[in-house]
Amino acid sequence: MLAFIIRRLVQSVVVMLVVSLIAFVMFRFIGDPVDQMVGLETTVQERELLRQQLGLNDALPLQFWHFVSKAAQGDLGISYQFKRPVADLIGSRLPATLELSFVSALFALLMGIPMGVYTALNRESVLSKLFLTISLIGISLPTFLIGILLIFVFSVYLQWLPSFGRGKVVDLGWWSTGFLTVSGLKALILPSITLGLFQMTLIMRLVRSEMMEVLRTDFIKFARARGLTNRAINFGHALKNTMIPVITITGLQMGAIIAFAIITETVFQWPGMGLLFLQAVQNVDIPIMAAYLLLIALLFVIINLIVDLLYVMVDPRIRIEGAEA
Amino acid sequence: MSDALLSVRDLVVEFPTRKGILTAVDRVSFDIARGEVLGVVGESGAGKSMTGSAIIGLIEPPGHIAGGTISIAGQRIDNLPYEAMRRVRGKRIGMVFQDPLTSLNPIYTIAEQLIETIRTHMDLNERQARDRAIGLLDQVGIPAASRRIDDYPHQFSGGMRQRVVIALALCVEPELIIADEPTTALDVSVQSQIIDVLKRMCADHGTAIMLITHDMGVIAEAADRVVVMYAGRVAEIGAVRDVIKDAKHPYTKGLMGSIPTLMQDSDRLTQIPGTMPRLTDIPPGCAFSKRCPEAFDRCFVEQPDCRPYQGRDVACLLYDEGKPQ
Amino acid sequence: MTMDSERLKPPGLWARVFDSDIWYSFTRSKVIMAAAIVTFLIFLGALFAPLIAPHDPFDMASLYLMDSLTPPMWEAGGNPVYPLGTDDQGRDILSAILYGSRISLAVGFASVAFAAILGISLGLLAGYMGGRVDSIIMRIADVQLTFPSILIALLIDGSVRSVFGGIDREQSAFYVLVFSIGLSFWVQYARTVRSSTLVEKDKEYVQAARLIGLHPLRIMASHVLPNVMGPVLVIATINLALAIITEATLSFLGVGIPSTQPSLGTLIRIGNDFLFSGEWWIAAFPGAALAILVLAVNLLGDWLRDALNPRLR
């Protein structure tokens, strides 16, 4: 088990290094860092000097090393657009994205799992067919379309909920939260439904198909043959077995939520990292793009690690050595 | 006859398919006396497992019992509502499946699965149920039962797992155990051990066994009487010794001839030419008519009923009054 | 016992198709048939857009700016010449939807084809060569799999545009999109094909082929590919819907198809700005068209997956 953890840690480090390499390549070779930073009047000598100062003439492996060590300390360069440290920019926008992602994930899980279980157990009921139709719509409508639709209905037409921004936020040290104000909470509703709907349908379909698979297994048949109650079979046995693969895949989806936030933030003008990244892509602001990539990779790697650990804890076949058959 | 524990009369199991209705079990009748071991033998697809599933009420839809009756100690069970049948399962009729690996839920310990079953049918507390479970594991021959009861299924070898399965099936003292190919998935060296365990446990608890298998050798070793099935119908029923020494139905004769014995003095094992017809392609009249060396004109037209003959029950027109000689 | 030679002859191809379980489940479900018809209609519409569209929305010369922001014809101020209204540039929405669907479908199919070819090739290669090549390809696949496709598509799009800064955005947008979307999807194909290849690699006919001098890879491909077509097809249909959505999303975000020859996503982006000022039709109709298209593709994909799944039969 310890060997497993160590192996996963090593894997994570490797992934981070690979991603850093890609980020570094982007940073260094896409566009010219010096040209991006200076005006048209700067002379060739001044540019050369800048090159030297930035270490752009050093050996490549050395540059990579500088890049990685600076990144590890939180220095992610200067934004081409805003002329401010990237770390500051990202830091100021991180809370917005994380809060949005968290609420969306919660929504997706709390709605998706019960719906999935219900449709697996009651395959013919009207409610199941309704849920499945909703799921089909959830998977078919692109996130931005859902957002626009929600805005149109709830903001423009009914005027119940705001259509942009975070509402009033409260600063807790470095973090700014929208959880503590009514306007903040109201502002969270439409974006998190938008962001979470796709994930919710994925989770629901996953739980449904996994559970239907499990209900076909021999040990469920044997449980029935032993006269166990439906409740014991469906929830004690079937559901618990379903949860194991569901945990893995759901965990990975959580990472996707953070990435898909880009779209939602655009539709709702939510001041998060995603919007920042998009502007960076549009304006070819490489430092922000590279930094965003690194941060996302880090978040994903951490999430994957947690999911793997959870998996090991939950499935005894991995935790404990088996006997020779 | 009236003392019989289990009484199956004219059982019919049908499957609607888009090509028409498939009859998997066609008017099968037999009895099982208390404490007796009845073997049910036949090729794959002959309907033996389906009969077993019908008795315990676990036929997968769209298959269903379309006719006949099943009674245990005089009480009909084929038409019980779900909850009533659930109480019969485990408590009065138990079932053991072929593959011990997939019969046990991998994420629960043996203790949890045993205790759950015991407490579903018996009014015992956790401690009492656990003691009973340990006692059962001892009886089936699991060494160090009080320690190993807290292990997970994958920590047991194949033979040990099947012993656990037998313990689970017998833990609340059913009157009948249906064993569906209980040794097929096991190593040859382990097979006779398991048969011994099964026989011993049932003799000790007074439980009857319906031993379903395609392996005539197992029947010869373990059963008192045998039902020979072919294409969903009964061919012959009789005491095992009698049937082996002096089979009446031509199919049974072929079957007995195909068992290698030390006594036999021939170069080749008898082979019955052709194969058992698929259930969609059963010929009119006797199902065996096309392969039968002794078939005559009536055999291709009339379906023989299973009738008593010299202490046996045979479904063959050869033993019908009025056959041409 | 006589040999019934007539009965033993294998049925012809058409008999097999119409007798198959797939056709049966297809005709059983009205919803699926409806979805197939809708998809087919949209497909036809997109294909023959130049012939059936009342206007050519891409021809700048034919646009009357004065006709811009006309509402749909059943509303006050509407004009039957523009059945679904016009946008801010005077483009007929109906025609724009037809042409836009064309682009959306084209990007969708092209990127799925690209992903499939790339994935299948890499999968075959990885499975056959094993060792270092296999490890490298699979590591890359693993790393890429942790990122959602939209992110990858965005990054590639941004990088490509930065590297080839000078290129005419309008011409290259299509290819850049197909490339970046396709590149984000190859992994699933590669994995499936790789595992099939690994199974085949150890079989004896591969050794035999080597002895004869035929290249084992070609022989393996001819054995692996038919086996793998089923799952590949399933993956492809799922990917098609996702590809269409991804293209629409990228266009909506402003990094996809530009507005001179808009796809459905671009149209929605344009229309989004007019939602609050009351010209809802610019976003609504392309949005509905997109939703219907993806819904239909998803339904077909679902049905195909169930039909091809041997365990559910």
Q: Where are the domains of chain B?
A: 4-92+174-240
What residues of A are in contact with residue B120 (Cβ under 8 Å)? 226-229, 232
- Does A16 map to a domain? no
Whether residue B322 has pLDDT greater than 60: no
- Does A12 map to a domain? no
Q: Whose structure tokens read 């833990």?
A: B171
- Give residue ranges of C with CB < 8 Å to any B CB: 1, 24
Task: Pick the residue from chain C with its C-alpha nearest to A281.
Answer: C158
- Does A182 map to a domain? yes
What average pLDDT does the structure give for chain C?
A: 76
Closest by CA to C97, choosing from C284, C258, C297, C263, is: C263
Task: Pick the residue from chain A with its C-alpha nearest to C285.
Answer: A145
Cα distances from B116 to residues A227, B108, B122, B154, in angstroms, run: 11, 11, 10, 19
Q: Determine whether the interchain pair B274/C1 forms a contact, defined as Cβ–Cβ distance below 8 Å.
A: yes
Q: Is the dihedral of CA A304, A310, A313, A317 positive or negative?
A: negative
Confidence at residue A37, expressed as pLDDT on a 0 to 100 scale: 64
Point out the residue among A218, A227, A317 whose CB comes nearest to the CB of B97: A218
Residue C11 pLDDT class (50, 70, 90 cuts): low
What residues of C are in contact with residue A280 (Cβ under 8 Å)? 158
CA distance B316 to B236: 9
Whether residue B173 has pLDDT greater than 60: yes
- Of residues C77 and A84, more confidently modeled: A84
Task: Pick the residue from chain C with its C-alpha nearest to B289.
Answer: C1
Tell me the shortest Cα–Cα distance from C246 to chain A, in angstroms: 8
Interface of A with C in 269-288 (CB under 8 A): 277-278, 280-282, 284, 286
Q: Determine whether the interchain pair C275/A151 forms a contact, defined as Cβ–Cβ distance below 8 Å.
A: yes
pLDDT tens for each residue of B60-95 = 888 888 889 999 988 898 888 989 999 889 889 999
Structure tokens at B210: 């319906």
- Of residues B236 and B259, more confidently modeled: B236
Mean pLDDT of A161-187: 79
Q: C102 CB contacts (<8 Å, ≥6 apart)?
A: C46, C47, C49
- Taking a C-beta distance cutoff of 8 angstroms, is the pair B211, B39 a contact? yes
Point out the residue among B18, B274, B290 whose CB comes nearest to the CB of C24: B18
Specify the CATH number for the domain of residue C193: 1.10.3720.10
pLDDT tens for each residue of A153-164 = 888 778 888 878
Structure tokens at B288: 């065996």
C308 CB-contact burial (10 Å; exposed 0-12 / middle 13-18 / buried 19+): middle
Is B122's Cβ below 8 Å from some Cβ in A?
Answer: no
Residue A296 pLDDT class (50, 70, 90 cuts): confident
Confidence at residue A166, expressed as pLDDT on a 0 to 100 scale: 79
Number of domains in chain C: 1
Cα distances from C168 to residues A286, B274, C175, in angstroms, run: 21, 73, 12
| Count of C-beta atoms within a 10 Å radius of residue B227 | 29
What residues of A are in contact with residue C159 (Cβ under 8 Å)? 26, 30
Tell me the shortest Cα–Cα distance from C292 to chain A, in angstroms: 8
Residue of A218, A220, A226 best to disrupt the B interface, most CBs of B under 10 A: A226
Tell me the shortest Cα–Cα distance from B104 to chain A, in angstroms: 5
CA distance C265 to C254: 9
Is A324's Cβ below 8 Å from some Cβ in B?
Answer: yes
Structure tokens at A241: 């077995």
Question: How large is the C-alpha radius of gyration of chain C?
Answer: 24
The share of chain B scoring above pLDDT 90, in percent, equals 24
Confidence at residue C305, expressed as pLDDT on a 0 to 100 scale: 74
What residues of B are in contact with residue A320 (Cβ under 8 Å)? 152, 154-155
Q: Determine whether the interchain pair A229/B102 forms a contact, defined as Cβ–Cβ distance below 8 Å.
A: no
Least confident of A295-304, B68-77, C215-224: C215-224
Confidence at residue B259, expressed as pLDDT on a 0 to 100 scale: 66
What residues of B are in contact with residue A237 (Cβ under 8 Å)? 105, 108
User: Which neighbouring-strand residues pair with B13?
Assistant: B25, B65
Confidence at residue C3, expressed as pLDDT on a 0 to 100 scale: 47
Whether residue C10 has pLDDT greater than 60: no
Confidence at residue B276, expressed as pLDDT on a 0 to 100 scale: 78
Q: Determine whether the interchain pair A227/B87 forms a contact, defined as Cβ–Cβ distance below 8 Å.
A: yes
Whether residue B198 has pLDDT greater than 80: yes
CA count, 13 A, side-chain hemisphere, B262: 0
- Does C30 map to a domain? no
B4-92+174-240: CATH topology: Rossmann fold (3.40.50)
Is C247's Cβ below 8 Å from some Cβ in A?
Answer: no
Name the pTM for this structure: 0.79
- Does A301 map to a domain? yes
- Domain containing C186 equals 90-312
Structure tokens at A248: 């893995």
Specify the CATH number for the domain of residue A176: 1.10.3720.10
Point out the residue among A26, A136, A144 whose CB comes nearest to the CB of C249: A144
Q: Which helix (H) or strand (E) holds B38?
A: strand B37-41
CA distance C224 to B295: 48
- Taking a C-beta distance cutoff of 8 angstroms, is the pair B12, B77 a contact? no
Q: B221 CB contacts (<8 Å, ≥6 apart)?
A: B192, B195
Residue of B17, B18, B60, B280 best to disrupt the C interface, most CBs of C under 10 A: B18
CA distance C293 to C104: 10
What residues of B are in contact with residue C24 (Cβ under 8 Å)? 18
Whether residue C170 has pLDDT greater than 50: yes
- Does C110 map to a domain? yes
Q: What letter would DSSP give residue B295?
A: -
Confidence at residue A31, expressed as pLDDT on a 0 to 100 scale: 64
Mean pLDDT of A48-73: 74
Confidence at residue C6, expressed as pLDDT on a 0 to 100 scale: 47
Q: Determine whether the interchain pair C1/B18 forms a contact, defined as Cβ–Cβ distance below 8 Å.
A: no
What average pLDDT does the structure give for chain B?
A: 85
Residue of B60, B97, B102, B107 best to disrupt the A interface, most CBs of A under 10 A: B107
- Taking a C-beta distance cutoff of 8 angstroms, is the pair C98, C46 a contact? yes
Closest by CA to B58, choosing from A235, A242, A216, A209, is: A216
| DSSP letter string, chain C | ----HHHHSPPPHHHHHHHSHHHHHHHH-HHHHHHHHHHHHHHHHHHTHHHH-SS-TT-GGG--GGGTTPPPTTSTT-BTTBTT-B-TT--BHHHHHHHHHHHHHHHHHHHHHHHHHHHHHHHHHHHHH-HHHHHHHHHHHHHHHTS-HHHHHHHHHHHHHHHTTTS-HHHHHHHHHHHHHHHTTHHHHHHHHHHHHHHHHTSHHHHHHHHHT--HHHHHHHHHHHHHHHHHHHHHHHHHHHHHHHHHHHHHHTSSS-TTS--HHHHHHHHHTTTTTT-THHHHHHHHHHHHHHHHHHHHHHHHHHHH-GGG-
Whether residue C22 has pLDDT greater than 60: no
Confidence at residue B325, expressed as pLDDT on a 0 to 100 scale: 45
B151 CB-contact burial (10 Å; exposed 0-12 / middle 13-18 / buried 19+): buried
Structure tokens at B60: 């997968």
Structure tokens at B81: 């509502």
Number of domains in chain A: 1
Is B290's Cβ below 8 Å from some Cβ in C?
Answer: yes
pLDDT tens for each residue of B264-321 = 566 666 677 777 777 777 888 888 888 888 878 888 888 888 888 888 888 888 877 6
Q: Determine whether the interchain pair C146/A255 forms a contact, defined as Cβ–Cβ distance below 8 Å.
A: yes
Confidence at residue C313, expressed as pLDDT on a 0 to 100 scale: 40
Point out the residue among C151, C245, C302 whose CB comes nearest to the CB of A142: C245
What residues of C are in contact with residue B18 (Cβ under 8 Å)? 24
What residues of A are in contact with residue B90 (Cβ under 8 Å)? 225-228
- Which chains have 3 or more CB–CB distances shorter than 8 Å to chain B? A, C
- The torsion angles phi and psi of B41, rounded to 5 degrees, stand at -120, 150
Interface of C with A in 118-147 (CB under 8 A): 139, 142-143, 146-147
- The torsion angles phi and psi of B115, rounded to 5 degrees, stand at -60, -40
CA distance B63 to B46: 16
Contact pairs from chain B to chain C, CB under 8 Å = 4
What residues of B are in contact with residue C1 (Cβ under 8 Å)? 273-274, 290
